[in-house]
């Protein structure tokens, strides 16, 4: 079995992992089974540049698009670029909230909104 814990705050993530390990140990003792826990990967949270985030927001507002701020835990390329350059990300809605799966679907309208917001952001930051 594997489990994946992600959070933008590293201390919160560590606490969650500790809680899960403790619960697993307690269940193993109760059921009298041996459990071996092995952590094979860890990634810290990444905060993006306020300037980029503000520009993305301005782009969405300029077109009259609705938006929300989200935290994305998967390690996108942007997480690594953020170590060396001001970075941000734009996400668009996927049908039924499914992304990074075969069933992922985004409407052409939502894709267009994402592209327009990206274009606004790039042009604004290039000035």
| Residue-by-residue pLDDT tens, the chain, 127 positions | 888 888 888 899 999 999 999 999 999 999 999 999 998 888 777 889 999 999 999 999 999 999 999 877 666 788 889 889 999 999 999 999 888 889 999 999 999 999 999 999 999 999 9
Q: What is the DSSP letter of 103?
A: T
- CB-CB contact of 56 with 88 (8 Å): yes
Cα–Cα dist 102/20, whole Å: 30
Is the domain spanning 50-126 CATH 3.40.50? The answer is no
- At residue 73, the pLDDT reads 67
Cα–Cα dist 33/30, whole Å: 8
Q: What is the DSSP letter of 8?
A: S
- CB-CB contact of 100 with 74 (8 Å): yes
Taking the model in full, what pTM does it have? 0.74
Each domain of the chain, given as residue ranges in start order, spans 1-45, 50-126
């Amino acid at each position: 079995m594997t489990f994946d814990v992600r959070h933008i705050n590293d201390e919160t993530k560590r606490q969650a992992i500790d809680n899960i390990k403790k619960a697993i140990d307690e269940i193993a003792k109760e059921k009298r089974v041996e459990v071996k826990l092995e952590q094979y990967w860890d990634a810290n949270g990444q905060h993006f540049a306020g300037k980029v985030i503000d520009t993305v927001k301005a782009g969405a507002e300029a077109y009259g698009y609705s938006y929300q701020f989200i935290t994305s835990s998967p390690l996108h390329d942007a997480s690594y670029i953020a170590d060396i350059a001001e970075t941000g990300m734009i996400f668009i809605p996927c049908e039924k909230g499914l992304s990074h799966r075969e069933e992922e679907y985004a409407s052409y309208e939502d894709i267009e909104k994402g592209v327009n917001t990206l274009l606004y952001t790039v042009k604004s930051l290039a000035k």
